[in-house]
Each structure stands twice: as structure tokens, then as C-alpha cells.
Structure 1
Amino acid sequence: MAGILRACASVAALEQGKQVHADIIKIGFELDVSVSNGLVDMYGKCGRIEDAQEVFSKLLEPDVASWNAMISGLAQHGCGKEAVLLFEQMLQTGVKPNQITFVVVLSGCSHAGLVDEGRNYFDSMTRDHGISPKAEHYSCMVDLFGRAGCLDEALNFINQMPVEPNASVWGSLLGACRVHGNIELAERAVEQLIELTPENPGTYVLLSNIYAAAGRWDDAGKVRKMMKDRSVKKEPGCSWIEVQNKVHPFIVGDSSHPQIEEIYETLETLTLQMKAAGYIPNTNFVLHDVEEEQKEWILGHHSEKLAIAFGIISTPPGTTIRVVKNLRVCGDCHTATKFISRIVSREIVLRDTHRFHHFKDGQCSCGDYW
């Protein structure tokens, strides 16, 4: 049962996970710690953090894995302060944290911008708990500094590491450079990443996107040519939504779905309503050297927008729409989804590679920090 729950969690299969939960109750496994931990993890990764908390609260003697799963779920949902409070509660109960505990609590600090708290917890690993930091802890710290815009501090941290920084560490720095538009530092990170993992397409794509966002189209083109010469293929952006036990995937500008015309019509109507409410398409997120009108068309048909529109026309009014994306949600789609949630009076839960976003009444749970 724990293994099945892990499978459901990995692909955000909420409905199947709920069915497994029902079977667990029938069989009588609900008080088994490993199964309960699996439920906490599954609900957290499927966007139902309240259900994860309910399962966790019923554990009579949660072990360190239980605490880790709950803290991780809170971190993924942007509840950094709650994750920190839960970690402190864990310490008070006498449960000893392990290396994974510090990965998830540092991740929670990173997603919530809690730089000082993250720095203190990192220092306490060795000082108070006798745990030597591993590569993933250093990566979390670089991510923490980078997301907060402290790129110089992130670089200084890397330079002072007692071990050789790996691809994860440099990847965290590169991601921060993409968010804050630091081309010089991005190029340095890419040099290291290409040397460590030359086959990873994400490195080339991020650098190309950074150049494109800065209008350096020639440089962006050189990076894409480098990818072609080295036979490195980019993973296409894809979003999917489950409706009536069927998964519906979408890519940008999709034309394959049987209801695509209705989906496009719904998006056109939504776009007019959003613009009337103050929405302005941010074409800076279209990383192609094309005319402005074409940029707006591409932007309006990003995969997550298509999935959301399909969810609107395929589910009853008031139903929560749950979408999963294999890449980081772009800034314009994030803004647009806030408008859509208010217009259609729906909660929209979007899981990307970094975290969960809960859109409701024109606001997002991340507070525009992700």
C-alpha cells in the first residue's frame, strides 16, 4: 500500500490515491506508520495539504519520516512559516532530525524567503545535531539565497563550500540567474554545468531563455545550435489535467485535443474578461524573436492555460481545477491564472516542478514568490 501511494504521489493521481486510502481503511492499515506516512506524502504531492495534515494529526507516535513528509508537504505548498513551526514542534517532542529533515526545512525556508531562518538552521545542523551537510543541503542554501536575489551571497557560499560543488548546486544558481536576469553569473554557472553534465538539456535551455529575455537573440540562437550539434533535445513544456479518470495532456498551441476549438473559444472569452479587469499580457515571457502580435498569441495558448480552460468547460461550476506542469510556470500564466480564478469563482491548484500554487479570488498562495 505504501508503494502504491508513492506511485500516486509521483504523478499527482489524487483520485486513485483517495481510492487507495479507502481500501487502506477497509483493510485496517490506517494506523500503520509507514502507510500513514505514504498518505501524508501522497496528499501533499497531490495538492491536498489539509488532508495530509489530518492524516498526520491522527498519528499516535509519528516517526522522523512522518515529520519529514509533513514538513515537506508544507514546504511544497509555500507554507514556509508553518514548516518551520512544525520543525520546532518536532524538536520539542524529542524526535531527532536527520539529513532529510534539514533538506525539507531548508526548502521550506527557500520557498518562503526566510533567509535568516534558513541560515540559522543550516548552521545548527553541525553545531546542535552533529549532522554534516551534504550536497543537497548546500544546494538548498544556494537556492535560498538565489530566490531572494542575494546572488553575490550565493556565489560566496559556493566558493566557501568545503566540498566541490556539484551540478545541483550550480543548477540552483543558474535558476536564480534566470529569475533575476543576471547574465554574467549565468554564463559562469553554465560553464560548470556543461563540464559536469553536458547531456542535460535544462542547462542550455535556461541560458538560451536568459539571453532571449534580454533580447540577445544571436546568443540565444548560438546556444540552440550548440544543443543541435551535441544532439541535446529540449523537453517540451506540457500540462495535464485529470477529468473523469482520464488524463488530458496539452502542449503550447495544441491542436490535437478533440475539444480544442471549444477550449480556444473559452480562452478568447476569458482573455477579453481579464483585459477588462486590468490584465496586460507580458510578452517578455515569449522567448521567440517574432512579432508582438504573434507573441501574444503564443502567450495566450501556453499549455497550463489550455488545461485550465479545459477544466472550466469539463467540470461543474465551483469545482476545484487541478493542473500539473512539467516545467516552471511562467510569470504571465501565473498572473493570468489569478485573474481567471476570480472571474470563474474557482480555486485553481497548479503544481509545477518547483511547488504548488493555489489560486483563489485573484490571489496565489505563493504571494508571487516562487
Structure 2
Amino acid sequence: MHGRNCALDDARQLFDELLEPDAICWTSIISALTRNDFFDEALRFFYSMQRDHGMCPDGFTFGTVLTACGNLGRLKQGKEVHAKVITTGFCGNVVVESSLVDMYGKCGSVGESQRIFDRMPIKNSVSWSALLGDTVRMETSSLAAVRQGKEVHCQYIRKGDASQKFDNLELNDWGFAQNGRGEEALRIFNQMVKEGIKPDYISFIGILFACSHRGLVDEGREYFISMTKDYGIKVGIEHYSCMVDLLGRAGLLEEAEILIETSDFRDDSSLWAALLGACTTCTNYEIAERIAKEVGRWNDALRIRRLMKDRGVNKMPGKSWIETKNNLGSSFDFENSLVPGESNFLDVEGMG
């Protein structure tokens, strides 16, 4: 429980106080370390439980350790754990094989990942999400390959690498990646639904990310809406990030702005920063300036205003109405209004 709540020090202390921790205790501490991104430490405990204490790992132990190997990108070590899985008879365990799919994909061996997935007698949402994640990482890698030397607006890929090492990939796998894996990601997602597997939180991150990188705006909107409408999944900030990225790439900046404003994460600066980047890419300086001021990036706002001036982009100054001594006056907000604390108003009509 402590490990689940990220109180890792407490979990370690409780574990160290145990006189003879059993396999369940070992698995719990390994899982806690992995959840808190201490992957090397998790692997050290994994080897210690067997070598020094004679404990046998179970399916959950293997699943957790394979996750650690995948996040470290250690293909050789992952293969060693895979061999141990085979010799201890855990092939066919859905937890272990889902973790194998994820591990091989994160280490760049997408061909092996696909083969393990195809051989699985039972598949669940974790298995499908792992395969979907592999496909999305391939999509990102192919984009990096064909756009070398150019600016690539690529954000919000979690626990992935923008340039995977494609170890042991067949030639047709690489060609498929070059020709676009975004559509493949959609096919996998739709096949999962067709087979009666309910998509989960992670699945929707993968499919929305794929839609973003393939410019599939309509499809992205449909998947985003279906999360809550069809599956009852609460939309998280990762999903909003993907949608802001998708709409921003498509130049639908006003829609992206409304999406953020009406979300539970409207105060999260990362969403506004993503939209700000899209605005400057699309040279929509007025929205960019407004967003920069809203999130308190005054230097950026001032820079954008000066860029507008240099490029001849005209903007009407804001006009405010002020009542003083029963008289209604107006004031105009010009360039100095960008920086708080400065004298912001020029010309006040009707003020006594």
C-alpha cells in the first residue's frame, strides 16, 4: 500500500524490518520501486530475491521486472528475463506476456513484440494497449527519420524514445513504419474493440497520439468523445494534451483554446504552453499573445507583440470604460499593457 501511494521510503523501511520476507513481499517492493521509476533498484531486488534468498518469482514479479527492463531500454536483460519466464513455466500467463509485448516494443524489437502478441491465447486491454503503444512509438520514429534536419513539433509521448533502435526488425516492418503506422494504430484499436476488449485509459492515450501525428482530426474528436460517452472513462490531462496537439497542428486554435477553457485542467500551464507553441507555428500571433499573458509569460507576450509590429500585423488596442465622479470615460490599452505594473493607459475621455 505504501508503494502504491509513492511513500517509497516507508515501504523500504517496512520491508527491511521483516525478518523473513516471502515472495509476495519481495514482489511488492519490486513493484513499488518500478512504479516510482527506480528501475535499476527493482532489478537489483529481483536478482537478490533469487540468488541470496532462494525465492521464486511469480507472474506478477516477472511482469513488473519486464516493465523495468522496457523502461530502461535493456533488450539483452529483457531477453534474459524472458528466458527465465520460459524455464519456470510462465508462458501463457497474460500478465507476463503483456509485459513481454511492452518490453520488446520499448526496446525497439517490434517484430518480436508482434509475434508474442499473435501467439497469446488470451488477450486483455493491457495486451492491446502495449501493442498500440509499440505502433505509436514506431510512428514517431518514422517521422523522425523522414524529417531529419527539419523542425518537428512532437510533444506528449510518455515513456518513449523519439529515435528507437530497431534491433532485429525485418525489412518489411521498417518499410511499414516509413509508410505510416498511424493507420495501423487505428486498425489495432478498432480490432481490439471488435473482439470485445474494452479500451482503457492508456489505450486512448495511444490512439489520440496516433491521430495527432497523422492529422486525423475527425477521428480524434470521435475517440475523445467516446471515452466518456461509450466507455465511462474519465478524461485525463494526457488525453487533453493529445487533443490540443492535434487541433493545434490542424490550425484549429480557437477550438483548442475552448477545449482547454472548458476542461478540468484549464489551470494547467502545460496545456497552454502546447497551444502557445501551435499558435506561433501557425503565426496566429493574436491568440499567442493572449495565451502568453494568461499564463503569466509576460516576456513571451511582449516578444510576440513586437513580432506582430515588425511584420505589420495590426491589432486594435483594447478599450476599457471607467466611471469617475458620475462620468463615464474610456481608456485604450496599448503596447505597455503587456507588462503589469507599468503605466498602461493613454488618453482618458470625460474624466474630471
The TM-score with structure 2 as length reference comes to 0.56
Residue 256 of structure 2: which of 217, 220, 227 is its match? 220
1:195 aligns to 2:229 (yes or no)? yes
Match of 1:135 in 2: 125
Partner of 2:58: 63
Determine whether 1:29 maps to 2:56.
no
| Contiguous gaps of at least 5 residues in structure 2 | 140-180, 280-286, 301-352
Q: CA–CA distance in 1 between the matches of 2:103 and 2:297?
A: 33
Question: Is the contact between residue 147 and residue 176 of structure 1 (CA under 8 Å) also seen in structure 2?
Answer: no
The sequence identity of aligned pairs, in percent, is 15
Contact map agreement 1:29 1:35 (CA 8 A) in 2:
no
Letter in 1 for 2:184: E
Contact (CA 8 Å) 1:154, 1:173: kept in 2 or not? yes
The RMSD of aligned alpha carbons is 3.6
Q: Which residue of 2 aligns with 1:291?
A: 289
Change (3 A) 1:113 1:195: farther
Alignment of 1:81-92 (within 5 A): 82-92=77-87
Relative contact order, CA 8 A, sep 6+: which one is greater? 1
Change (3 A) 1:165 1:8: closer
Is the 8 Å Cα contact of residues 213 and 284 (structure 1) preserved in structure 2? no
Which residue pairs with 1:46 in the alignment? 36
2:85 counterpart letter in structure 1: M
Contact 1:143–1:176 under 8 Å retained in 2:
no
Question: Where do 4+ consecutive residues of structure 1 move more than 6 Å?
Answer: 282-285
**Under a length normalisation based on structure 1, what TM-score does the superposition of the two structures give?**
0.54
CA distance in structure 2 between the aligned counterparts of 1:106 and 1:64, rounded to whole angstroms: 14
Q: Deviations over 1:309-361 (max 9, x none)?
A: xxxxxxxxxxxxxxxxxxxxxxxxxxxxxxxxxxxxxxxxxxxxxxxxxxxxx
Change (3 A) 1:98 1:153: same
Match of 1:160 among 183, 187, 191: 191
Which of residues 163, 176, 189 in structure 1 aligns to 2:210?
176
Note the C-alpha offset of 1:56: 1.2
- Using the alignment, how far apart are the partners of 1:222 and 1:14 within structure 2? 39
1:20 aligns with 2:14: yes
Of 210, 216, 232, which residue of structure 1 is paired with 2:246?
A: 210
Q: Closer, same or farther in 2 for the Cα pair 1:145/1:36, shift >3 Å?
A: same
- Match status 1:112 vs 2:143: no
CA positional deviation for 1:210? 2.0
Aligned-pair CA distance for 1:298? 4.8
User: Which entry has the higher C-alpha Rg, 1 or 2?
Assistant: 2
CA distance in 2, matches of 1:38, 1:17: 9
Deviation at 1:194, TM superposition (A): 4.5
* 1:269-324 Cα shifts (integer Å, max 9, x gaps): xxxxxxxxxxxxx98774673239949985999xxxxxxxxxxxxxxxxxxxxxxx
**Partners of 2:298 and 2:58 in 1: how far apart?**
46
